[in-house]
Amino acid sequence: MAKASSSSMFSKILLFKTSWFNKVVKFTWIAFLVVLVGVPLYIYSVIWNPFNLFGEMPSFRMVENPQNDLSSEVISADGASLGRYFRFNRSAVTYDQLPPLLVKTLIISEDHRFYDHAGMDLQSYFRVVKGVVLGGGQGGGSTLTQQTAKNLFHTRSEELRGHFGYLASPLDMLISKTKEWIIAVQLEKNFTKEEIICLYLNTVPFNNNAYGIKVASETYFGKSPAKLDLHEAALLVGMLQGTVRFNPREHPERALNKRNQVLHKLLDHGYIKTEKAYDSLKQLPLDLNFSVQNHNEGLATYFRTVLRQDLDKWCKERDIDLLESGLKIYTTIDSRMQMLAEQAVAEHMSKVQRDFETALGSRNPWEGAGGEEITDFLQKKIKRTDIYKTLEKRYGAGADSIEIVLKKKKRMKVFAWGGDKFVDFSFYDSLRYYNRFLQTGLMAMNPQTGEVKAWVGGLSHRYFKYDHVRQGMRQAGSTFKPFVYGKAMEDGYSPCTELLDISPTLKVSGTVYRVKNANGTYGDGTKYTLRHGLAKSLNTITMQLMEKMQPKNVVDFAVRLGITAKLDPVYSLALGTSDVSLFEMVGAYCTFANLGIRTKPFYITRIEDKNGNVLQNFVPQTEQVLDENTAYTMVYMLKGGVEEEGGTSASLSTAVTLGNEVGGKTGTTDDASDAWYIGITHNLVTGVWVGGDERSIRFPSWGEGASTRSALPIWDRFMSKIYAHPEIGYRKGYFKQPKQFTRSFDCDGASDDSAADYSTGR
C-alpha cells in the first residue's frame, strides 16, 4: 500500500515537472518567436505605418539629408553678426568651431559611451529598466544620437502621432522612442560621430528663443561657443536636462547646482584633474551676460527692419523661406561705425530733448501755423491707432466704453533717456508722452563705393518703429540749396560770381513773392560771392539763382544726382519745400564728392545659402551724371560753410576740421519742424535729420530748433568718434581733384586763401 502511494506521488511529481518543462519550453519558443518575428514586424510596422496606426516616419532620404531649419543671419562688413530673421532663433556651427572642452563636457555628461555605441546604448536601457523596477529616477537612457533624432524630426510632435498614440501615454512614448531608435541607427550609418555632435548642438533648444549652441552662447554669455569657459559650457550642458527647470535666469540656484553636478562628472571621469580645480570652478558665479535676441535689440535695428522688406521680396521671387533657410546676408554696414553712430545720436539727442522740454515748459509741442496749440491733436491721432480700431469694433463707433478704456491707467514700461521706466499711464497718457519726443535719423555712406556704412533710423526701435532714413519724407530746407548752386556751376557760373543780398521780386500765380533771410530781412544789399552766399545760407542769393536757372531745370539736376522723390518745379523749391528722404539726399551729395559719378546707395554685398554657396552678388550701380569739374567746384562751394566768415558749419570742432577737408550744409525749415545737416569728406558723406514724428511738433522758436543746435552736433560727434578710431579705416584727407581741372578760383576777399589752397589740391 505504501509502495502504491509512493509510486503515485512520484508519478505526480514527474507529471508536474514534465508539465512545467513543457510550459517553459513553450514560453521560450513563444518569446523566441516574438523576438524573431514580432519585434521586426513591430519595427517594420512603425516604419511603414499601416492605416496611420503609428504615425509618420521621416523617409530614409530625409535622414540622410536632414533639413535643420535655420535662422537667416545679417552680417556686417567687418564680420560681426548684426542680427537674425527667424521663426526659431537658430544658427549652425561647424565642428571646428566647437571648443574641445564643450564637446568633452557634453559627452561625459550626456552620453559617455557615445563613441562606443552605434546609436543605441543597451547598458543605459538596462539601467532605466532597473530604475523603473526598483524605483527612483534613473534618467531617460537616450543617447545623443537619439536626442538628435528627436530634435531634428520632432518625433514627439502632434503631427507624427498615429492612432495608437492616442490610446495610452506609455504606448505613445514607446512608439516615439522606437522611431528615435530607428532614426538613430540610420544617422550613425550616414554621419560621423563629429557630425552627429554638430547636428545635436545645432538643434537642441535652450529656452528664451535660443536654439542651438551658437545662439545659446550668445544669449546667455554674449560670446561665441569657441570662447566659452569650462564652467560656462557646464552650465549650458546642464540646461539640456531641463531647459525650463535649469534656466539660469529664472532659477539661478537650481542652475548653479546642476552646473556643479556636471563639473563633478568631469572630475569623476578625469577631465578635471584635481579636487582643488573642481572646488575652484564650483565657487564661480553664473556670471551671465544675458540678452535675448530679437528685432528690437542689438545694432542697426532700423536698418535690419528696412533690409527685411527687401529680403522678403527677394526671397519671394525665389521661393525661399527667409525665416528658416539659414541665409547669410552680407551687408556694407560697419558694426564699429554703426555703434559710434548710435552713440553719437544718443549722446546729443538726450541733450536736444532736455532743451526741448525746457523750451516747452508746460506747453504741448503740437502747434498750428500761427503757433497756437492744436487742441484736438491727441483725439485725432488716437483714432488712427490699432487699439482704437479694435475698441471700435468691440463696442461700436462713438461708444462711451471706448473713452473709458482709453483713459484707464495701467502699469507700463516706457522709453526714457535715463533708462526705461515704469509708469501708470492710460493710452492717452502714453500717446501724449511719446509725441513729446523729438526723433532723428542718420546715414553714412562711402561716396566712391556707394556702401552704406551706418544707419540710425530713430531713438529706439522697441518704442519707435518708424524709420527716419528711408521711410521718412520731410522738407529738406536749405540742404536743397546746393542743387540750385550746382545747376548754376554747371551753366558756367563761378563760386566767385557776386550777387547783392537783395530779395528778388517774383510773380507767382498773379501775386508778388519775396523771400526773407533767416534774420527776417529782405537783405541788406551787401555784395557776396556765390560761395559766401551759400556758406551763410542766404535765401536772397539762392532765390536770385533760382530765378536765373528756373525751377524745372533745378528739378532735372536734382533728379540726375539721385533724388527720386516728387519735386514741385516752383521757386520755393530752392528753399527745400518738397519732401525728400535722408537716404536719397545723402546719395545725391555723394555725387559731388565722387567727381560727378552718381553711385546708388547699396547695403547688401552678397547672399549665401546655409552651405556657403553664393546665391547672388550685389554691385553698386554707377553713372557719370555730372562733369568732374562741376562736381569738384561744388565740393569747393560746400567747403565754404566751414571756411568762409559766418559760414553755417563754422561751429564744427577742430577734432574734425583740423588737417581735413570738410564741406557741409545746414537746413532748418521755416517753422523749425525739420533740422538737417549733411557733411562731406573725401571718403564719407553723412546726413542727419532731427524733428518730430508729426510736422506740427516743433521747438517754440526757429533759433532753438536750428540745425546748428540739433543736427550738426550729431554729425560732429559721429565724425570725431570715427577719427578717434583710425583702425576703422576712415581717416582724414583731401578730396580727389579731376585730372584735367580747367577752373581756378581767385576770388577777391575772404575766400582767396582757401581758393588758392583748393586749386592746387594741397
Average pLDDT taken over every residue of the chain:
87
Say what the pLDDT of residue 165 is. Answer: 66
For residue 137, is pLDDT > 50? no
Q: Is the pLDDT of residue 759 over 50?
A: no
- Pairwise pLDDT comparison (161 vs 36), residue with the higher score: 161
Is residue 176 over pLDDT 50? yes
Instruction: Decide if 500 contacts 527 (C-beta within 8 A).
Output: yes
Q: What pLDDT digit, counting tens, does each position of 693-708 carry?
A: 999 998 888 888 899 9
CA dist 378 → 372, 382, 399, 464, 694 (Å): 15, 6, 18, 17, 12
pLDDT computed for residue 90 by the predictor? 74
> In which band, very low, low, confident or very high, does the pLDDT at 33 lie, cut at 50, 70 and 90?
low
Residue % of the chain over a pLDDT of 90:
62
| pLDDT tens-digit readout, 587-635 | 999 999 999 999 999 999 999 998 899 999 999 999 999 999 999 999 9
**Rg for the chain, CA atoms, rounded:** 36
Q: Is the pLDDT of residue 11 over 80?
A: no
Higher model confidence: residue 670 or residue 718?
A: 718
Report how far residue 270's alpha carbon sits from residue 285's, in angstroms, rounded to the nearest whole number: 23
Q: Which three cell numbers stand for residue 297?
A: 535689440
Instruction: Band the pLDDT of 68: cuts 50, 70, 90.
Output: low
pLDDT digits (tens, 9 = 90+) for 393-416: 999 998 999 999 999 999 999 999
Give, as one character, the DSSP assignment of residue 90: B
Q: What are the CA-CA distances from residue 176 to residues 44, 47, 585 (Å)?
A: 14, 12, 60
pLDDT over threshold 70, residue 127: no
Q: What percent of the chain has pLDDT over 70?
A: 85
Of residues 609, 640, 612, 632, the one with CA closest to residue 751: 640
- Please provide residue 584's backbone torsions phi and psi, each rounded to the nearest 5 degrees: -80, -30
The CB density around residue 374, as the number of other CB atoms within 10 Å, is: 17
Residue 512 has pLDDT above 90, yes or no: no
Would you say residue 435 has pLDDT above 60? yes
In this prediction, residue 202 carries a pLDDT of 87
What is residue 756's predicted lDDT score, i.e. its pLDDT? 31
Q: How far is CA 124 from CA 119, 135, 226, 424, 711, in A?
A: 12, 16, 31, 56, 67
In the structure grid, which three cell numbers stand for residue 322, read together? 527667409
Residue 31 clears pLDDT 70, i.e. is over it: no
Question: How far apart are alpha carbons 211 and 645 in whole angstroms?
Answer: 60
Higher local confidence (pLDDT), 189 or 100 = 100
Query: What value does the mean pLDDT take over residues 204-211?
Result: 84
Cβ partners under 8 Å of residue 698, min gap 6: 365, 367, 671, 672, 673, 691, 692, 705
Lowest mean pLDDT among 51-65, 106-120, 391-405, 546-560: 51-65
**Greater confidence, 160 or 466?**
466
- Is 61-294's fold the same as 438-759's? no
pLDDT (mean) for 77-100? 87
Judged against a pLDDT cut of 50, whether residue 749 lies above it is answered with: no
* Strand 579-580 versus strand 474-475 pairing type: antiparallel
Beta bridge partners of 658: none
Confidence of residue 150 (pLDDT cuts 50, 70, 90): confident
- pLDDT in the model for residue 118: 77
With cut-offs at 50, 70 and 90, classify the pLDDT of residue 21: low
Which of the listed ranges 179-193, 313-327, 394-408, 443-457 does the model predict with the highest average pLDDT? 443-457
Structure pTM? 0.76
CB 397, CB 719: distance < 8 Å: no
What are the structural domain ranges in the chain?
A: 10-48, 61-294, 374-435, 438-759
- Mapping DSSP to helix (H, G, I), strand (E, B) and coil, where does residue 341 land? helix
- pLDDT level of residue 132 (50, 70, 90 thresholds): very low
CA angle 124, 126, 129 (to 5 degrees): 110
What superfamily in CATH does domain 438-759 come from? DD-peptidase/beta-lactamase superfamily (3.40.710.10)
Q: What pLDDT, on the 0 to 100 scale, is given for residue 151?
A: 79
**Residue 58, pLDDT above cutoff 90:** no
Grid look-up 463696442 returns 395
CATH H superfamily, domain 61-294: Biosynthetic peptidoglycan transglycosylase-like (1.10.3810.10)
- Number of other CB atoms surrounding residue 375 within 10 Å: 10
